[in-house]
Amino acid sequence: MATLITGTKSGLGKYLSENIDNVDTLNRDDDYEKISTVRYNLIIHCANNNDNYTWGDTESDFSRTNLYQFYKDNIFFTRDVANIKHDKFIHISTYDIEEDTPYSAAKRISETIVSTISQNYLIIRPSSLLGKNMRENTFTKILDGKPVYLAEDSLMNYITHEDVLKVIEAEHPYDGIVYLCSNENITLGEVADLADKKIEFGDYWRKHPSIFTDYNTDRTSKDNVTKFIEEMK
């Protein structure tokens, strides 16, 4: 089966490209025209720009330029990828789809694009992802002992790249939208304790929306964090 995976330079896309056979890859700086002539049995769209903008960031010309690139990377690139001929399209979205942020808004629009263009699609809405080759984020900063802007008692939910692969491999019963998270949340303070790090936390409190999942991983966020830290040693 010929599969196309986007966003393979880091994170989930890189992991999937290394663990699925017969794969072509596509990143934003690749030759789209060449890829666009191929028909794929499966497209897995992982590419995204997850820069943490707020609506107030549009106030400066510099931020407007960055925001345009942000939406180009997320929305327009999704449109282009969805227009490549395919039998099945899997779009990696976000669990935080209802949040009032530019990122969540871009994901909502991208989901609409996928569901409009593709005749056979699966949208996966994962919670925070753990895996090798992650881009820097709050979790990696904690592992590196760096300050973070979120509060110590912020509630997070972590799943692994492997969890996403299992949903993809079992996707035959699935279409439409799948929520994916672990069975219990964890505080950032607990993450720091598991990593044995003293962290300077901020005062912005965040809470993971819920622990509803369509695919039961039978693991908690603590299980996943503990396992990941051990694997990184």
Residue 140 lies in a domain: no
The CA dihedral of 110, 67, 59, 105, to the nearest 10 degrees, is: 20
pLDDT of residue 57: 62
Backbone φ, ψ for residue 127 (5° rounding): -75, -165
Using CA atoms, how far residue 183 sits from 211, 213, 221, 230, in Å, is 6, 8, 7, 20
Residue 159 lies in a domain: no
Residue 162 lies in a domain: no
- Measured between alpha carbons, how far is 42 from 95 in angstroms, rounded to an integer? 22
Residue 137 lies in a domain: no
pLDDT of residue 232: 85
Judged by DSSP in three states, 113 sits in helix
Residue 133 lies in a domain: no
**Model pTM greater than 0.75?**
yes
Residue ranges for the chain with pLDDT beneath 70: 1, 52-65, 171-174
Residue 155 lies in a domain: no
pLDDT of residue 53: 64
Q: Could you tell me the CATH number of the domain that includes residue 57?
A: 3.40.50.720
Residue 59 lies in a domain: yes
Q: What is the pLDDT of residues 4-37, one digit of tens each?
A: 999 999 999 999 999 999 999 999 888 888 888 8
Domain that holds residue 118: 3-126
Report the domain count for the chain: 1
Residue 205 lies in a domain: no
Single-letter amino acid, residue 29? D
